[in-house]
Amino acid sequence: MSNWTLLRHSRCCLSRFKTQRFQKNAPLGSTFSTSDEAQADNEIPVQAAPPPVQVQLTESSGRGVFATRRISAGELLHTAKPLVSYPSLSTIQSVCYFCLKKVKNSAVDQSPSVAFCSEKCEEQAKSFLGVEGKADWVDFNDYCRSHGLKYPLLVKRFACMVLSGATSADLLDILQPAMLSPRMISEMEEGFDILKSAFKVAKFPDEKMAFLTKQWYTGILARIRINAFRIECAGGLYEDLLQAAAASVEAEGAVGNAVYMLPSFYNHDCDPNTHIIWIESADAKVMALRDVEEGEELRICYIDASMDRDARQTFLSQGFGFHCTCLRCMSGD
């Protein structure tokens, strides 16, 4: 079976960032590693090696990610924690409100509206939950639900993180924004008004909300539109990551959306050599689908790669604003 038939990766971003090499000190809010993070209680933690990738200019696609050494098929290149994430409204009571891991009924928090998979996640969620809990989000959630919107929910969480002091309002400025038409901006403004009203009714001081302008809201939403990943978690842990990639297709189910740093630098290819998977939570795992030589660009597939060429071209053009010239498309496949 071909790679593109096997994979149905629903990535929702187009990376065009400035050149940056990722070393041991990862950007704020991101975690990268080339080995499992968990350590046994009796083991001495070992600092993870930097991932074998480098972000640099490509000849035709802006920025891209390149291998700094030979990479073997099935190799885990790095992991990444989201800068911001949010569960789908349909799964909000069945997944962890922080890491998006599916939870059992017994694990549901005492709150009637959200759930956590562990005390650790509940503790980490305090960075935004304390702010979020002070406002009434019925109108905002109804607005998102009735319009079929998911990205404003990420803006809402990010705004709560900023208000809590957990992060800065310009954290996502490095992301390339989508091109917005006047109609799109007008539609975004409605969401902004509802969001700001919720904070005002909750009596947050004006000085704390100084960052929350219409320009900030539309700018953040424009960045999230093309840099957010749809999270589809595999049902459990797998020893072999290639099998996990296949399992993530068969057990597909979107539990939410998230924005990352390094994963958003990967360019598109309809016959990718790299794949991003989620096993149980929103922590992204980037793995090689086949052997990659040093200096070769690492690419993922933004869409359902099993579609025919015309369908892929239409989807990429309308959804991401570019015409794909990968070898598979150029060959007419």
Q: Which amino acid appears at position 34 of this protein?
A: T
**What does pTM read for this prediction?**
0.78
pLDDT exceeds 80 at position 139: yes
Sorted by sequence, the CB contacts under 8 Å of residue 277 that are 6+ apart come out as 234, 241, 244, 245, 248, 284, 285, 287
CA 74, 77, 79, 80 dihedral sign is: negative
How do residues 37-90 score in pLDDT, each as one tens digit? 444 445 555 566 788 999 988 887 778 899 999 999 999 999 999 999 999 998
- Say which residues have a Cβ less than 8 Å from residue 243's Cβ, sequence separation at least 6: none
Quick one: which H or E segment has residue 11?
A: strand 11-13
Neighbours of 308 (CB within 10 A): 9
Looking at this protein, which amino acid is placed at residue 108?
V
User: How far is residue 154 from each of residues 67, 75, 280, measured CA to CA in Å?
Assistant: 31, 31, 20
Query: Is residue 233 very low, low, confident or very high in pLDDT (cuts 50, 70, 90)?
Result: confident
Assign 304 a pLDDT band (cuts: 50, 70, 90).
Answer: confident
- The domain ranges of the chain are 88-105+112-228, 307-332
CA distance 243 to 232: 15
Give the Cα separation of 110 and 114 in Å (integer).
Answer: 8
How much of the chain, in percent, has pLDDT values that exceed 90?
Answer: 54
